[in-house]
C-alpha cells in the first residue's frame, strides 16, 4: 500500500487491519464486462459507463432539474455515439460536481426517451481518467463490486483495491463471538465470511447473507445490553414498596376533579401494581396529545406521598413545569401536601431555600425542569420520579434521576432508587420501542376523555392572511380564545420551529414571520380591539405566569406566541390556533401545537398559514389536514423523513445502526430479541466461558450510553 493511501486510510480512522474491514461499502454495483450504453435495455435495471458530453439545468424553482448527456463509442455506426440521457430532480448541487468530459458509471432503470434512453436520478460514481482502463476491462468477467462512501482523496475503486488483497489476512484476525452451533442454528455465516462477502462479493446473494449476519449482530448486541441492564437493575437496586389500600385509593380519587377514563384507570392500576413491589418500576406511558397523562402521573406521585416519601415530576420546558406546578397545586389545594417548583431561572436565594426544603423532606412533591437532576439537588426520600415528554430528554436524564433515590442516612441508601415513569405523546411503533427502550414496560392510553369535539384543520396561503384574522376577530367576539404561533420572536431572529425531535431546524433561508412585527400589524389592524398578549421564552417567569393566569381567566383573548406553548399548555376555552409559516415546523411539533386546542367541549379549528416551498413541507401540511391522530401522523412522518431519526435515537446516545434497519428487519429483530432474552436469563452478566468476546464487544458498543460499562 502506498504511503499516500495509508495516510488517507488513517484519516478515515482505519488504523489496523480489523478496522479496515469495518469500513463498509454503502452499496454494490455490477461492472459489466461489456458495459456499453448501447447494451442498456428499457425497463431493466442496468449499469454502464459513459462520458459526459453536455450538462444543463432546465426549469425553475421547484421544477428545476439537471439534464446530463452521456456518450460512448458503442454506436451502431461511426457517425453516431452511444447515448444515454440522465435527469436529476431536486439535486441542483450536482451541477457543481459534474462537468463535461467526466466519466460516470451509472446504475438505474432506463426508459425510452425520444429515440434513445433516459435514466432518472440514477446512482452513479465518478471515474477518474486513470482508472478508466480498469473499469472498462472488457476482456474480464462481470464483477459485482462494492461502492464505498466517497472520501476526499480516495475513490471508491482505490479503497476497493486496497481492501481486496487484505481481506483474507484481515478476516483471519477476526474472532467470531458466536460459536459454530449457534450460527448454524440460525443459518448465519461467520464474521470473517460476512466481511469477505461484503467487500468482495460474487453476487447479490452473498451481500444479503453478509448483511443479515452483521444486522443480526447489531440487533443482538443492543438487545443483550438492554436485557443485561434490566437484569442488573433488578438484582442490585431496590425501590420503596408502596402498597395500595382502599384508604389510599379513596384519598387519591377524591383529589381528581373528574372520573378517569377506562384507559387512564387501567394504566393507573398497572402503575399501582408496579409500585407495590421493591423492584424498580421503569414504565413508559404513551398517549396522544390531550389524552390525560398528567393525572395518571399525579396518582402515582400521590402513592409515594401517602407512604411518607417524596415524588418529582420533570418537564422539558419552564413553561410546562410552571403549568404542571399550578394545576397540581390546584388539585391538591388545602391538602397537607407541600409542593415546590424548581427551575433553572429561579433567583438564587429562592432556589437554595427550595433545595434545602427538598433535602430535609419538608417538600413532598417537586415539579421542575432538567435542573431537577443537577448535582445540587438532593432528596430526602425520593420514591417516584416522573419524566414528562420523554422524547425531549435523553437516556442520561433517566439514569441521573435514578441515582437521586434513597432514604437519606438510611443504611441501604446506596442501592435505593426511585420508581421511574416516563410519559410521551410521540407514538413509537412497538417493535422500535422495544428495541430502543427495551428496558421499559409500556402502557398506552388509547382513547381521549369523552366529550372532546373534533379539531378541523385548514391550510391557507399567506395572501389570505387578512381574511383569516378577520374571521379570528369574529370568533373572539363570540367569546372564544385563540393562539397565534410564529417561528421567531424578532425580525431575522432565531427560529424555534424544529423539524426533528432533536431540535434540527428548517434549512430554508427565507425570512420567517416574527412575533414582534405580526403583533404590531394585528394590533393596528384586524385585531385592534382584541386583548392580545405575547408569550415567548425571553419573558421572565413571573411575567409568563401572570400572562398565563390572565389567559386562563379570559382576561386575555389571544396569545401570540412562539413554540414555548408547544407542550403542556392547557386552556380548555382556547379553541382556535393559527400557525404562521407552518411549513417550517415538523409534523410532531405541528401536532403538539394543534393539541393546545380541542381540550374543551367546543369544536376547535387549526389554521395553517403557509405556502410550502418544498415537497416534504407540502406533504407534512397535507398530512396535518388529513388526520388528527398522533399515531397516523407519526407513520406519515416516517414515510416522509425515512426511519433515520424519528424516534430520537440520537438523543438517546445509542450508536446508530450501520447495517440493521429495525423498521424493515422485523424477523431478524424478533429473533435477536428472543435470543437475547434467553441468553441473559441463563447468563445475566455474560461471564461464562466463551462469552468474553461478546461481552467485550457489547460493552464497547453500548456500555456507556446504557450505563452498564461498570456492570460486574
**Please, what sign has the CA dihedral across residues 23, 27, 33, 37?**
negative
Residues in touch with ligand ADP (CB under 6 A): 258-261, 264, 287, 289-295, 425, 449, 570, 572, 599
Decide whether 36 or 481 has the Cβ nearer to ligand ADP: 481
Cell of 46: 442496468
CA distance linking residue 609 with residue 484, whole number of Å: 10
Q: How far is the CB of 580 from ligand ADP (least distance, A)?
A: 23
Note whether 594 and 455 are within 8 A (CB).
yes
DSSP state of 454: P
Decide whether 260 or 358 has the Cβ nearer to ligand ADP: 260
- The residue with cell 479503497 is 159
Q: How far is the CB of 433 from ligand ADP (least distance, A)?
A: 17
Q: Which residues pair with 610 in a beta bridge?
A: none
Rounded to the nearest 5°, which phi and psi values hold at 95?
Answer: -55, -30
Q: How far is the CB of 532 from ligand ADP (least distance, A)?
A: 24
Note whether 160 and 27 are within 8 A (CB).
no
State the virtual CA torsion across 636, 641, 646, 649 in degrees, nearest 10: 160
Q: How far is the CB of 549 from ligand ADP (least distance, A)?
A: 16
Cell of 221: 448486541
Decide whether 136 or 289 has the Cβ nearer to ligand ADP: 289
Note whether 69 and 52 are within 8 A (CB).
yes
Q: How far is the CB of 255 from ligand ADP (least distance, A)?
A: 12
Decide whether 283 or 404 has the Cβ nearer to ligand ADP: 283
Q: Which residues, other chains included, contact 205 with Cβ-Cβ below 8 Å and sequence gap of 6+? A: none
Q: Which residues, other chains included, contact 260 with Cβ-Cβ below 8 Å and sequence gap of 6+? A: 268, 292, 295, 296
Nearest of 107, 110, 111 to residue 49 by alpha carbon: 107
Nearest of 235, 238, 234, 264 to residue 252 by alpha carbon: 264
CA distance linking residue 476 with residue 556, whole number of Å: 10
Q: Which residues pair with 366 in a beta bridge?
A: 312, 340
Decide whether 291 or 562 has the Cβ nearer to ligand ADP: 291
Decide whether 286 or 457 has the Cβ nearer to ligand ADP: 286
Note whether 405 and 189 are within 8 A (CB).
no
Q: Which residues pair with 31 in a beta bridge?
A: 143
Note whether 367 and 340 are within 8 A (CB).
yes
Decide whether 569 or 706 has the Cβ nearer to ligand ADP: 569
Nearest of 284, 230, 229, 227 to residue 673 by alpha carbon: 227
Cell of 137: 476491462
Rounded to the nearest 5°, which phi and psi values hold at 476?
Answer: -65, -40
Note whether 404 and 379 are within 8 A (CB).
yes
Decide whether 293 or 380 has the Cβ nearer to ligand ADP: 293
Q: How far is the CB of 291 from ligand ADP (least distance, A)?
A: 4
Pairing relationship of beta strands 365-368 and 339-342 according to DSSP bridges:
parallel
Decide whether 289 or 377 has the Cβ nearer to ligand ADP: 289
Nearest of 670, 486, 624, 489 to residue 566 by alpha carbon: 486
Q: Which residues pair with 419 in a beta bridge?
A: 384
Cell of 358: 427538598
Q: How far is the CB of 117 from ligand ADP (least distance, A)?
A: 54
C-alpha distance across the termini of the chain, in Å: 43
Q: How far is the CB of 367 from ligand ADP (least distance, A)?
A: 13
Decide whether 293 or 370 has the Cβ nearer to ligand ADP: 293
Q: How far is the CB of 453 from ligand ADP (least distance, A)?
A: 13
HEC per residue, 591-626: HHHHCCCCCCCCCEEEEEECCCCCHHHHHHHHHHHH
Decide whether 198 or 606 has the Cβ nearer to ligand ADP: 606
Q: How far is the CB of 526 from ligand ADP (least distance, A)?
A: 29
Decide whether 258 or 674 has the Cβ nearer to ligand ADP: 258
- The residue with cell 420546558 is 317
Q: How far is the CB of 247 from ligand ADP (least distance, A)?
A: 22
Q: How far is the CB of 645 from ligand ADP (least distance, A)?
A: 23
Q: How far is the CB of 9 from ligand ADP (least distance, A)?
A: 51
Q: How far is the CB of 358 from ligand ADP (least distance, A)?
A: 24
- The residue with cell 430526602 is 380
CA distance linking residue 592 with residue 586, whole number of Å: 10
Nearest of 27, 3, 15, 22 to residue 150 by alpha carbon: 27
Note whether 300 and 248 are within 8 A (CB).
no
Other CB atoms closer than 10 Å to residue 135's CB: what's the count? 17
Decide whether 291 or 397 has the Cβ nearer to ligand ADP: 291
- The residue with cell 417548583 is 341
Q: How far is the CB of 421 from ligand ADP (least distance, A)?
A: 13
CA distance linking residue 599 with residue 595, whole number of Å: 8
Decide whether 445 or 706 has the Cβ nearer to ligand ADP: 445
Nearest of 83, 166, 173, 149 to residue 119 by alpha carbon: 83
Q: Which residues pair with 367 in a beta bridge?
A: 313, 341
Q: Which residue is nearest to ligand ADP (CB)?
A: 292
Q: How far is the CB of 431 from ligand ADP (least distance, A)?
A: 23
Decide whether 152 or 330 has the Cβ nearer to ligand ADP: 330
Q: How far is the CB of 595 from ligand ADP (least distance, A)?
A: 6
Continuous segment of H or E residues that includes residue 310:
strand 310-314
Rounded to the nearest 5°, which phi and psi values hold at 313?
Answer: -125, 120
Q: HSE, CB side, 13 Å, CA atoms: give it for residue 664.
A: 12
Q: How far is the CB of 68 from ligand ADP (least distance, A)?
A: 51
Amino acid at each position: 500500500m502506498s504511503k499516500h493511501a495509508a495516510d488517507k486510510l488513517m484519516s478515515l480512522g482505519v488504523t489496523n487491519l480489523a478496522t479496515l474491514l469495518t469500513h463498509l461499502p454503502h452499496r454494490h454495483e455490477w461492472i459489466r464486462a461489456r458495459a456499453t450504453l448501447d447494451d442498456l435495455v428499457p425497463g431493466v435495471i442496468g449499469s454502464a459507463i459513459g462520458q459526459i458530453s453536455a450538462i444543463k439545468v432546465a426549469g425553475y424553482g421547484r421544477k428545476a432539474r439537471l439534464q446530463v448527456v452521456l456518450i460512448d463509442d458503442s454506436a451502431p455506426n461511426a457517425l453516431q455515439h452511444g447515448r444515454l440521457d440522465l435527469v436529476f430532480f431536486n439535486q441542483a448541487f450536482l451541477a457543481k460536481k459534474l462537468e463535461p468530459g467526466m466519466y460516470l458509471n451509472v446504475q438505474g432503470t432506463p426508459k425510452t426517451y425520444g429515440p434513445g434512453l433516459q435514466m432518472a436520478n440514477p446512482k452513479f460514481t465518478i471515474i477518474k481518467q486513470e482508472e478508466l482502463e480498469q473499469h472498462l476491462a472488457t476482456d474480464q468477467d462481470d464483477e459485482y463490486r462494492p461502492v464505498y462512501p466517497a472520501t476526499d482523496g480516495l475513490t471508491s475503486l482505490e479503497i476497493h483495491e486496497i481492501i481486496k488483497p487484505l481481506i483474507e489476512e484481515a478476516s483471519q484476525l477476526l474472532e467470531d463471538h458466536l460459536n459454530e452451533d449457534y450460527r448454524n442454528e440460525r443459518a448465519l455465516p461467520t464474521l470473517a465470511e460476512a466481511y469477505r462477502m461484503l467487500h468482495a462479493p460474487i453476487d447479490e446473494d452473498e451481500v444479503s447473507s453478509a448483511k443479515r449476519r452483521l444486522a443480526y449482530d447489531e440487533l443482538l448486541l443492543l438487545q443483550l445490553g438492554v436485557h443485561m441492564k434490566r437484569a442488573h437493575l433488578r438484582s442490585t437496586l431496590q425501590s420503596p414498596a408502596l402498597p395500595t389500600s382502599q384508604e389510599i385509593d379513596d384519598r387519591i380519587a377524591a383529589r381528581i376533579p373528574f372520573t378517569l377514563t377506562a384507559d387512564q384507570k387501567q394504566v393507573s392500576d398497572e402503575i399501582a401494581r408496579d409500585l407495590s413491589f421493591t423492584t424498580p418500576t421503569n414504565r413508559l406511558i404513551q398517549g396522544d396529545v390531550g389524552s390525560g397523562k398528567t393525572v395518571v402521573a399525579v396518582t402515582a406521585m400521590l402513592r409515594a406521598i401517602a407512604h411518607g416519601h417524596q415524588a418529582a415530576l420533570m418537564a422539558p420546558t419552564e413553561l410546562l413545569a410552571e403549568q404542571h406546578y399550578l394545576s397540581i397545586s390546584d388539585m391538591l389545594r388545602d391538602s397537607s401536601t407541600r409542593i415546590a417548583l424548581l427551575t433553572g431561572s429561579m433567583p438564587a436565594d429562592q432556589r437554595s431555600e427550595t433545595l434545602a426544603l427538598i433535602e430535609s423532606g419538608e417538600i413532598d412533591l417537586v415539579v421542575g425542569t432538567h435542573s431537577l437532576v443537577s448535582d445540587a439537588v438532593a432528596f430526602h426520600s425520593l420514591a417516584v420520579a416522573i419524566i414528562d415528554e420523554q422524547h425531549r430528554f435523553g437516556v442520561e436524564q433517566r439514569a441521573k434521576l435514578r441515582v437521586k433515590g434513597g432514604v437519606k442516612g438510611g443504611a441501604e441508601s446506596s442501592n435505593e432508587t426511585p420508581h421511574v415513569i416516563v410519559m410521551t405523546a410521540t407514538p413509537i411503533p412497538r417493535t422500535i420501542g422495544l428495541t430502543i427502550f427495551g428496558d421499559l414496560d409500556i402502557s398506552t392510553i388509547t382513547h381521549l376523555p369523552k366529550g372532546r369535539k373534533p379539531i378541523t384543520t385548514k391550510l391557507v396561503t399567506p395572501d389570505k392572511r387578512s381574511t383569516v384574522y378577520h374571521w379570528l376577530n369574529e370568533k373572539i367576539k363570540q367569546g372564544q380564545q385563540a393562539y397565534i404561533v410564529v417561528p421567531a420572536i424578532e425580525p431575522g431572529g432565531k427560529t424555534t420551529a424544529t423539524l426533528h425531535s432533536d431540535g434540527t431546524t428548517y434549512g430554508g433561508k427565507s425570512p420567517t414571520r416574527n412575533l414582534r412585527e405580526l403583533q404590531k400589524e394585528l394590533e393596528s389592524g384586524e385585531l385592534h380591539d382584541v386583548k392580545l398578549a405575547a408569550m415567548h421564552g425571553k419573558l421572565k417567569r413571573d411575567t409568563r405566569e401572570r400572562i398565563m393566569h390572565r389567559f386562563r381567566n379570559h382576561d386575555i383573548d389571544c396569545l401570540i406566541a412562539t413554540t414555548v406553548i408547544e407542550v403542556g399548555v392547557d386552556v380548555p376555552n382556547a379553541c382556535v390556533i393559527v400557525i404562521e409559516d407552518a411549513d417550517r415546523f415538523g409534523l410532531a411539533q405541528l401536532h403538539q401545537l394543534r393539541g393546545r386546542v380541542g381540550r374543551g367541549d367546543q369544536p376547535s379549528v387549526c389554521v395553517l398559514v403557509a405556502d410550502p416551498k418544498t415537497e416534504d413541507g407540502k406533504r407534512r401540511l397535507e398530512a396535518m389536514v388529513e388526520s388528527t391522530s398522533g399515531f397516523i401522523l407519526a407513520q406519515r412522518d416516517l414515510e416522509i423523513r425515512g426511519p433515520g431519526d424519528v424516534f430520537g435515537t440520537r438523543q438517546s446516545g445509542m450508536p446508530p445502526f450501520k447495517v440493521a434497519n429495525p423498521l424493515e428487519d422485523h424477523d431478524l429483530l424478533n429473533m435477536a430479541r428472543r435470543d437475547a432474552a434467553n441468553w441473559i436469563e441463563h447468563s445475566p452478566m455474560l461471564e461464562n466461558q466463551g462469552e468474553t468476546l461478546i461481552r467485550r464487544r457489547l460493552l464497547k458498543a453500548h456500555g456507556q450510553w446504557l450505563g452498564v460499562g461498570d456492570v460486574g
